[in-house]
Structures are given as structure tokens and as C-alpha cells.
Amino acid sequence: MFRHSEIKNFKPQKRTLTTSESASTAGEYPYRLNFYERPPLFEVTVEDFEECAIDRLRILAEIESSYARNRTWEELKEVTGKLCRKYLHLNSNQTAIGHINSQEQRKRDHLGHFVLRLAFCRSEELRRRFVKAETTLFQVRYEEDDSLERIEFVNSLNFGWTKVTSADEKGSLEEELKALQVKQSTSSDNYVKVHWTKVPDLVAKRRVFLRGGFAYVSSQEISSIIFHEFESRLEKALEHTAKMLPRMDEDTRLVPILNNLSQGFLVGIPSEWSSAPSSGDEVRAEMIDDMAKKHFPLCMRNLHECLTRDRHLKHFGRLQYGLFLKVLGLSIDEAIHFWRKSFSNLTDDKFNKEYKYNIRHSYGLEGKRANYPAKSCQQILTTDKPSVGDCHGCPYRHFSPENLQSSLLTHYSSQGLDTTDLHEIMRTVKDGHYHVACTRVFEITHGRKGVKKGDGIGGGESVTHPNQYAARSIEIEKEQSQEGTAMAVVVD
């Protein structure tokens, strides 16, 4: 998550940013799909500015991780569609309940896209990744769009193509066109004629028929023109934005937001798990050891092991583990009980003086009484890099390959992980996709409970927060025991 201090600086001020002088007119978004050709022309609050961007970023980051996890296009579409419905839903004109509602959704979509352009135009690498993820998002939405509205949208784009209507023209080229069809289809199949320079990908693969500089593109391939156009226009726009950016940098309110956004893209989706567990089940100190073995991600298992072995944890380790346990559902009393028992080498006096205050502080009972959230994967990956003797951090990132492999086998072989899984995990780690590796370990270690490759922590989502990992693991166990009960009832 973003460092809260920075966000707080904005909140009380409620200042607004003007992205342009002119105001917007109603009904500005006739289509659900958008080529984002014009910048948003309305005033936004800093909060909206950030929120729209974060919601979009969650989706883009999941798209990236889908590629890293080699998901099929269908899987990617499903996962992305699910996230879109959650964070950035866009109604079609048909399904829009109220017209204003759909306009508002599209406005947020428009704004989020442009904020992220600012965040991701800064380096070649970021631009490349952003273009890929955005083009994919566009593709997903395009494919699930209402077919009539999609045609209207496509017609509005003016790509300089013409429909091949004359029966003569079609007839004389019939043989050639047939040789290119993806599926055997009837002569009623539609073609458009477009200058070959608009479809370089199809030309390079010899997938179109060319005559006199024009490519004959079958309706099945028209989408390829649109995606290529989306991609190349966005590439150009980002380069242009990059040149304009130095002026933006003077706005000190935006710089940290933009930096955080691009950072978030590099290490996974920012997610927040500051809420108390919904189940209401209390977690007691003596349950932790058992829960750790069954439900904790590797970072927390490692911390738990260090604590058990050394009877102590250094500052950042206590912070990372303590906040995790708090969010897991350990009450303040149970927490004090847990830590007291764990630091068994300390005298009561020393514990009370040096540690109790900090535990209460982290529960918001001392000092400025802030309710500190548990650290997300992004924070664990990027802040407070562990040094010698530290146990915190992300093992996938901070362990040597040898240590990581033996640690994985030590902790998870009883849950079904074996040496044959290591190759895939280590390859992902080597590519820097730590959250993908962690997600894969989740899938493997929950395989006996029916979790399949690609399921992630539910709905295909990747791990972005240790508490999300643990919560999902507990949930799966609960579902199964309930099924068991139900079965038992039936058998009775």
C-alpha cells in the first residue's frame, strides 16, 4: 500500500486539480470502449485522481501477472473480467440502469487511464509494460462488448477502411480470400479493405491478401487492426506525455502519488487487509503454532520459525509479524500473551518495559493511536530490506536460491510440495515475479483441497498480501469442513 502519511497530507485539504480549462458536457461517452484520444476535461479531487488510478492498477497488475503465470487467453479474460466488475465496472448502453451511472463509470475509466499514463510514461520499460497491459485490457473489454455497440464503436474510429461489398470484387478474389480464412465460412463473410500499413502484423505473417497496396482483412481479423491501432496510438501518446512531464513534476502533490503508482506496478497490486477477519472467530495465542503450519505464507512461516528458534525477533521482524497476527484476528490481550510466551528468555520486567508498549502501540492503543495496517507484499518487497540476522522480508526475493529451495521443502513438503515443483517456482523467482511464485506455492500446498493451477487465491487472483494468503487458506479449510458436516448429515 501507499505510505499513509503521504496520502494523509492530501486528504484534509480537498484541493482540486484542473486538468484543463474547459468543463465536460454530459453524455460525453457514447461507447463503453474508449481509445482515450482526448485527455479528461474535468476537475477532479486528489482523492479521485488517486482512487481511479489504483483501481485500474489492480487490474493491470493482474493482467501482467497472468502473462507471467502463462494463463491461457480464456483464463486471463475470466480473471480480468472478474476484477473489472469489482473495481472498474463498465456497463454497456443496453445494461446501463441509468444513463448517468454509465457515464460516471466511463468517466472514471477515462480518468484512471490518464493518471496511469502520467505514472508510466517515465521509462521505456514502464511504457512497454503499460502499453501491453492496457492493450490487453482493451482486448478483454472488446471481446466481451455487446456486438452491436462494438460495431458502432468501431465505425466511430475512422480507420480509413472500406467494406468489400461489390460481389464482383469479392468474386474475383474468392480463391485468395478463402485461402486465408481462419474458419471455413460462407461467402457472406465480410471483408474490409485497408491500406497494408495499417495491419503490419498481419502482413508480416502473410495473413492477409494484398492487392494494389490494400489488405483484405476478414471480419475475424478486423479486431487485429483495432488492437494494433490502439497499441501504436498509445505508444506515441506515452512518448509525447514523457516529453511534457517535466512541467508536471512541479506539482508536488502529484509526484508522490505517481511514484507510488509506478512502484506498485513493479511489485504487484497494492492491496489492503487492515480489516478485522469477517468470521469473527477469535484467534488465541496457543493456536498460532498450528495455524502457521497450515495457513501461513513463507514469509510468515519463516518469521514464526525464527521466533520459535531464537526466542526473539528483531524490530522489523516483530513489526511485520505482529501486524500480520493482529489482522489475522489476534486480540491485544492474546497478542501480549503470545509475545510474552515467545520471548521466553526475557524477564517480565524487561518485556513490560521494552516490548509491551510497542505491541499496544501497534494496536493503536498508545501514541497517536493509529490503526496500523499489516504490511502488503509491496511494502515487504520494497521497504526495510533485511540485513544479516534479520528474519523479515520476502523469502522469494531476499533468500539465496539454495536457501529458498530448502526452506520451501522444509515448510511445505508435508502439504504436497516436492522437488519437482521447485524448477517452476525458481524460474518465476528468477524473472522477478515473486508474488507469482508465492501464488504458485499456495496452489500446490492447497492442491489436496482441490485448488488447481491457475486458481490462485480464488478467482485466479495472485497473492498481494500475506493476510490475504492466510485468510483464503483458512476459508478453504472451513468450506471443506462444512462440506464434511453437510455430507455427514446426508449420510445420517
Partner 1 sequence: MSDDADTSPEVMLRFYKMLYPFQSIFTWLNHEHTPTKLFTHREFAFTLQGDVYLRYHSFNTAEDLKKQVCTLNPTRFEIGPMYSAKPRDKKTVRSAAFSPQRRELVFDIDMTDYDGVRTCCSAADICSRCWGFIAAAVKVLQSILVEQFGFRHLLWVYSGRRGIHLWISDPEALDLTDDQRRALVSALTVVEGGKEMVKKVNVRTAKGLPPLLWDALDTLRSAFGPLVLDDQDCFSSQEGWETLLQLIPDRPIVEKLRNEWSQDPDRPSAQKWEELKDLIHKKKTDVQSRLKEALEDIVFQYTYPRIDAEVSKHRNHLLKAPFCVHPKTGRVCVPLDPNHIDRFDPRDVPTIGQLLRELNSSTSRGEVAGWEKTSLKPYVDLLDRHTMGILEEVRIMKRNNTTW
**Smaller CB separation from partner 1, 95 or 181:** 181
In the window 418-457, what residues touch partner 1 (CB under 8 A)? none
- The least CB distance from residue 156 to partner 1, in Å, is 23
**Smaller CB separation from partner 1, 206 or 452:** 206
Using CB under 8 A, which of 12, 212, 246, 280 touches partner 1?
A: 212
Is 306 annotated in a binding site? The answer is: no
- The least CB distance from residue 243 to partner 1, in Å, is 8
Is 121 annotated in a binding site? The answer is: no
- The least CB distance from residue 175 to partner 1, in Å, is 8
- The least CB distance from residue 210 to partner 1, in Å, is 4
Using CB under 8 A, which of 96, 157, 180, 409 touches partner 1?
A: 180
Backbone angles phi, psi at 339, to 5 degrees: -70, -35
State yes or no: residue 396 binds partner 1 (CB under 8 A).
no
Q: Which three cell numbers stand for residue 363?
A: 494496536
Q: Which three cell numbers stand for residue 195?
A: 491500406
In the window 119-178, what residues touch partner 1 (CB under 8 A)? 176
- The least CB distance from residue 329 to partner 1, in Å, is 55
**188 within 8 A of 163, measured Cβ to Cβ:** no
User: At which residue does the C-alpha cell 483464463 appear?
Assistant: 75
Helix axes 315-328, 332-342, angle to 10 degrees: 140
In the window 182-211, what residues touch partner 1 (CB under 8 A)? 196-197, 200-201, 203-207, 209-211
**Smaller CB separation from partner 1, 180 or 266:** 180
Instruction: Render 355-411 in DSSP notation, one character per residue.
Output: IIHHHHHHTTSSTT---PPPPPHHHHHHSS---TT---S-HHHHS-HHHHHHHHHHH
In the window 98-117, what residues touch partner 1 (CB under 8 A)? none
CB atoms within 10 A of CB 370: 12
**Smaller CB separation from partner 1, 206 or 368:** 206
Using CB under 8 A, which of 23, 179, 489, 490 touches partner 1?
A: 179
b vs e for 445-474, b when ≥16 Cβ sit within 10 Å of the residue's Cβ?
Answer: bbbeeebeebbbbeebbbbbbbbbbbbbbb
Radius of gyration of the chain measured on its C-alpha atoms = 27
- The least CB distance from residue 29 to partner 1, in Å, is 31
**Smaller CB separation from partner 1, 206 or 247:** 206
- The least CB distance from residue 197 to partner 1, in Å, is 5
- The least CB distance from residue 215 to partner 1, in Å, is 9
- The least CB distance from residue 239 to partner 1, in Å, is 11
Site string for partner 1, 268-297 (x = CB under 8 A): ------------------------------
Q: Which three cell numbers stand for residue 102?
A: 454509465
Q: Which long-range contacts (CB under 8 A, 24 or more apart) does 445-449 make?
A: 445/412, 445/415, 445/416, 445/417, 446/415, 446/473, 446/476, 447/416, 448/415, 448/416, 449/476, 449/477, 449/480
**Smaller CB separation from partner 1, 180 or 287:** 180
End-to-end CA distance of the chain: 49
Separation CA 416–CA 404 (nearest Å): 17
Residue 114 amino acid letter: F
Element (H, E) at 209: strand 209-211
Q: Which three cell numbers stand for residue 224?
A: 487485429
Query: Which 3-state string (H, E, C) describes 49-110?
Result: HHHHHHHHHHHHHHHHHHHHCCCCHHHHHHHHHHHHHHHCCCCCCCCCCCHHHHHHHHHHHH
**Smaller CB separation from partner 1, 28 or 201:** 201
Site string for partner 1, 225-264 (x = CB under 8 A): -------x--------------------------------
Separation CA 340–CA 2 (nearest Å): 32
Separation CA 202–CA 355 (nearest Å): 65
- The least CB distance from residue 403 to partner 1, in Å, is 42
**Smaller CB separation from partner 1, 175 or 290:** 175
**Smaller CB separation from partner 1, 127 or 440:** 127
Cα torsion through 400, 126, 21, 56, rounded to 10: -60
Q: Write the DSSP symbol of residue 24.
A: P
Is 52 annotated in a binding site? The answer is: no
> 230: helix, coil or strand?
helix
**Smaller CB separation from partner 1, 208 or 261:** 208
**Smaller CB separation from partner 1, 222 or 476:** 222
- The least CB distance from residue 490 to partner 1, in Å, is 51
Size of the site for partner 1 (CB under 8 A): 20
Name the binding residues for [4Fe-4S] cluster: 299, 377, 394, 438
Name the binding residues: 299, 377, 394, 438
Residues that bind partner 1 (CB under 8 A): 176, 179-181, 196-197, 200-201, 203-207, 209-214, 232
